[in-house]
Structures are given as structure tokens and as C-alpha cells.
């Protein structure tokens, strides 16, 4: 079975529709149905009249992507990047190509059974993140044992081949298979890919108890006095924090830090709730690098006025927001430089 990436429009414009409707889709709606197309050349013949002023290369590129969508079969794995949350929706194709009516935002589609819990990009090795870095709407992944690794991520929440310091081999230019689909296209630098690289650096250089140290550094900038528990069993308390001159004033905060790749379940949330009661803390913060399960999110919602969760993207946002104020030791371990760039067309 093949592994495909199908994006949800510019900026994820119809990604939520795809999830709600159980579909992966492409919105080149001026192109008529591909139902009778038997080859990429057939798709070129359908695309060309809709793009009379475009180059042969651009027509061919679009045709290759549409032919890729046309080629997705039941049983194939489909990935839908969700740029708004830093996660990947992953599902299995259940019905092949269908052409939808004019009410659909994206008319070329396949049906997909989406997995309930999304996959955080933070749990993937940088090589797989590089492979996801193309701006094409539809393409196939094969490099770096991608299909088997995604299967393991879905089973355990952990990428078995994510290495500690390897930034990942940059794929070469995209390859068109004999059938005409695009395979492992070249990544391009985007805000998303830059965040991927920084997240990978944090995951590999601030492992286990070191991640607790990074969280404490962020909270210190935010005005908390932090007491960090030593490495080892901590009974659900990695950081005790408070405000005021002595760190004893409200709000007081208990922090549990989970640096593993797998999603954290409801028992950990209930453990943090218990620790808040026993320590008479005003607030609780769960830092879950691999995210939390749907059941855990439901538990958090019961105490949404006193508890928060930071996943990898939330922690990255916090780090970037206070970076210039962090301790110089932390900044030396995570050297970043702010840069302004012109945002080009990312469609």
C-alpha cells in the first residue's frame, strides 16, 4: 500500500471540511471529472484547456498531482498536514476517486477514514519532516522507510527511526514515477519547515529532564520562581512555581513535563489534578511533547479554568516569544536568529 500527502488548500482553507466529510481532496474545480482517465496523459488532456496561458511544464505538474489523487486506492495511507495546529491528520482511503458536485469546496476527492487522534509533527524524525516539506498539493512518500515508520507512529506514537542529531537528508528534486505521479518532491523553506527544524533541535538537545529545565526557564521569564525536582520519580511534580518576592504568592503552579513522543492519556491528567490538591496549588500545567489523547483533553476541559496543556508547538511558541529574555546558557544551547523574509505564494 502507498503513502500519500494531500494538502487541504492554501492555508488549510478546506482542511476541516475534509476531516468533517471524511475526504482528501484537491480544488482544481475547473478541471472536469477524472473518472474516465486511464493515464497521466489523459489528465493532461483534461487540464490543458483550463490553463490556456500556462506553460507546458505547469500544466504537466498539475496533471501529475491530479493523476496522483486519481491513483489513490482503498487501503492506502493518506496524510493531511494541519498547519494551524502543527499536527498531521492520518487516515486510510476507503473509496477511490470521486468527482463531487459544485457545492463541494474541492471537487476531486477520495474517501478517507481519519484517525481520531492527530499525529504531532514533533514526534517525527527530521528526515520525514523534510519529505513533508513540499508545497505540492498531492504527492507520494517513499524515502526513509516512510510507510513503515508512519505505521509505527500510528501504533505507538513514536517514530522508531528518529535519530538524535541527524537533521535529515534533503531529498533531491522530485521524481515522476513511470505512472506519472510525483514521488518525494523537493522541500522548500517555509515557516512550517523552519518550525520543524527548531522543534527537532529542542527534542534532541533538551531530552527528558533537560526539557523540564527549558520549561522552567520560560516560566522564570514569565515571572515565576521555579523549584525543579531532581531527575527520577517525582510523583507528578516536575516544577513547583510561585510568584512574589519569595515565590510563595498566588498564583502557585505545579508543572508535569512529559518529553516522550507518545500522546499522554487521561491517567496522567488525573495524577496532575491530584498533585494540585495535595500541594494546594492554584494552577496546573501539563507539558506533553507528544500531545494528549482525546480522553485526556476531555479531562482537562473539566478544569479548564485551572489547568493548561502545552504540546510541542505551544512550548515552541512560548520559547520564541521570550527567547531574547532567556538565560544566556539556554540561548547558547539553542542559538536562534530572528529574520524577516518576504512571504511568497505558498499555494
Q: Which pLDDT belongs to residue 232? A: 74
Please, are residues 163 and 169 in contact by the beta-carbon 8 Å criterion?
A: no
| Structure confidence at residue 345 (pLDDT) | 56
Determine the pLDDT at residue 199. Answer: 92
Judged against a pLDDT cut of 50, whether residue 326 lies above it is answered with yes
Task: Give the pLDDT confidence score for residue 41 in this predicted structure.
Answer: 95
Which whole number is the average pLDDT over 10-30? 94
Query: What are φ and ψ of residue 264, in 5° steps?
Result: -85, 135
Give me the phi and psi of 168, to 5 degrees please: 95, 140
User: What's the per-residue H, E or C state across the chain?
Assistant: CCEEEECCCHHHCCHHHHHHHCEEEECCCCCCCCCCCCCHHHHHHHHHHHCCCCCHHHHHHHHHHHHHHHHCCCCCEEEEEECCCCEEEEEEEEEEEEECCCCCCCCEEEEEEECCCCEEHHHCCHHHHHHCCCCCCEEEECHHHHHHHHHHHHHHCCCCCCCCCCCCCCCCCCEECCCCCEECCCCCCCHHHHHHHHHHHHHHHCCCHHHHHHHHHHHHHCCCEEEECCCCCCCCCCEEEEECCCCCEEEEEEEEEECCCCCECHHHHHHHHHHHHHCCCCEEEEEECCCECHHHHHHHHHCCCCEEEECHHHHHHHHHHHHHHCCHHHHHHCCCCCCCCCCCCCC
As a whole number of angstroms, the distance between CA 339 and CA 283 comes to: 35
Report the sign of the C-alpha dihedral through residues 308, 313, 317, 318, in that order.
positive
Whether the per-residue pLDDT at 346 is higher than 60: the answer is: no
Q: Whole-angstrom Cα distance, residue 214 to residue 292?
A: 20
pLDDT digits (tens, 9 = 90+) for 156-171: 888 888 764 445 444 4
pLDDT of res. 32? 97
Range of weakest confidence among 94-103, 104-113, 246-255, 337-346: 337-346
User: Is pLDDT above 80 for 52?
Assistant: yes
Query: Rounded to whole angstroms, how far apart are CA atoms 47 and 62?
Result: 8
Domain ranges of the chain: 3-199, 206-333
Q: Average the pLDDT over each of 56-70, 190-204, 225-239 and give the range with the smallest value.
A: 225-239
pLDDT of residue 86: 77
The CATH number of 206-333 is 3.40.1350.10
pLDDT of 347 higher than 50: no
* pLDDT score at 171: 45
In this prediction, residue 172 has a pLDDT band, given cuts at 50, 70 and 90, of: very low
Confidence check: pLDDT of 222 > 90: yes
pLDDT band for position 180 (50/70/90)? low
pLDDT at residue 256 tops 60: yes
**pLDDT mean over 326-336:** 95
Q: For the whole model, what pTM was predicted?
A: 0.79
Residues 6+ apart with CB under 8 A from 116: 294
- pLDDT, average across residues 105-115: 96
Average pLDDT over residues 40-66: 95
Tens digit of each residue's pLDDT (9 = 90 or more) over 265-319: 999 999 999 999 999 999 999 999 988 988 999 999 888 889 999 999 999 999 9
Assigned C-alpha cell, 107: 471537487
| Dihedral class, residue 183 (left if φ above 0, else alpha if ψ from -120 to 50, else beta) | beta
How much is the mean pLDDT over the chain?
89
Amino acid at each position: 500500500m502507498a503513502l500519500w500527502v494531500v494538502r487541504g488548500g492554501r492555508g488549510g482553507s478546506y482542511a476541516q471540511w475534509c476531516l468533517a466529510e471524511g475526504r482528501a481532496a484537491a480544488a482544481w474545480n475547473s478541471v472536469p471529472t477524472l473518472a474516465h482517465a486511464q493515464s497521466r496523459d489523459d489528465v493532461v488532456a483534461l487540464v490543458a484547456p483550463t490553463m490556456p496561458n500556462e506553460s507546458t511544464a505547469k500544466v504537466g505538474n498539475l496533471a501529475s498531482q491530479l493523476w496522483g489523487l486519481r491513483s489513490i486506492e482503498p487501503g492506502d495511507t493518506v496524510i493531511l498536514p494541519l498547519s494551524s495546529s502543527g499536527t498531521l491528520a492520518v487516515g486510510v482511503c476507503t473509496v477511490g476517486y470521486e468527482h463531487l458536485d459544485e457545492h463541494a469546496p474541492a471537487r476531486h476527492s477520495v474517501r478517507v477514514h481519519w484517525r481520531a487522534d492527530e499525529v504531532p509533527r514533533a514526534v517525527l524524525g527530521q528526515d520525514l519532516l523534510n519529505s513533508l516539506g513540499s508545497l505540492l498539493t498531492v504527492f507520494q512518500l517513499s524515502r526513509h522507510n516512510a510507510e513503515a515508520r508512519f505505521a509505527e507512529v500510528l501504533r505507538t506514537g513514536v517514530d522508531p527511526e528518529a535519530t538524535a542529531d541527524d537533521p535529515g537528508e534533503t531529498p533531491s528534486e522530485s521524481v515522476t514515477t513511470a505512472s506519472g505521479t510525483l514521488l518525494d518532491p523537493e522541500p522548500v523553506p517555509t515557516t512550517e519547515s523552519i518550525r520543524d527544524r527548531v522543534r527537532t533541535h529542542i527534542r534532541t538537545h533538551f531530552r527528558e529532564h533537560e526539557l523540564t529545565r527549558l520549561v522552567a526557564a520560560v516560566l522564570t521569564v514569565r515571572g515565576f520562581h521555579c523549584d525543579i525536582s531532581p531527575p527520577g520519580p517525582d510523583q507528578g511534580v516536575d516544577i513547583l512555581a510561585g510568584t512574589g518576592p519569595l515565590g510563595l504568592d498566588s498564583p502557585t503552579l505545579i508543572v508535569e513535563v512529559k518529553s516522550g513522543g507518545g500522546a499522554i492519556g487521561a491517567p496522567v491528567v488525573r495524577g496532575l489534578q491530584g498533585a494540585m490538591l495535595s500541594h494546594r496549588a492554584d494552577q496546573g500545567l501539563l507539558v506533553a511533547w507528544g500531545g494528549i489523547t482525546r480522553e485526556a483533553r476531555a479531562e482537562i476541559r473539566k478544569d479548564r479554568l485551572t489547568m493548561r496543556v502545552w504540546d510541542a508547538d505551544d512550548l515552541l511558541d512560548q520559547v520564541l516569544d521570550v527567547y531574547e529574555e532567556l538565560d544566556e546558557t539556554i540561548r547558547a544551547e539553542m542559538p536562534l536568529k530572528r529574520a524577516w523574509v518576504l512571504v511568497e505564494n505558498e499555494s
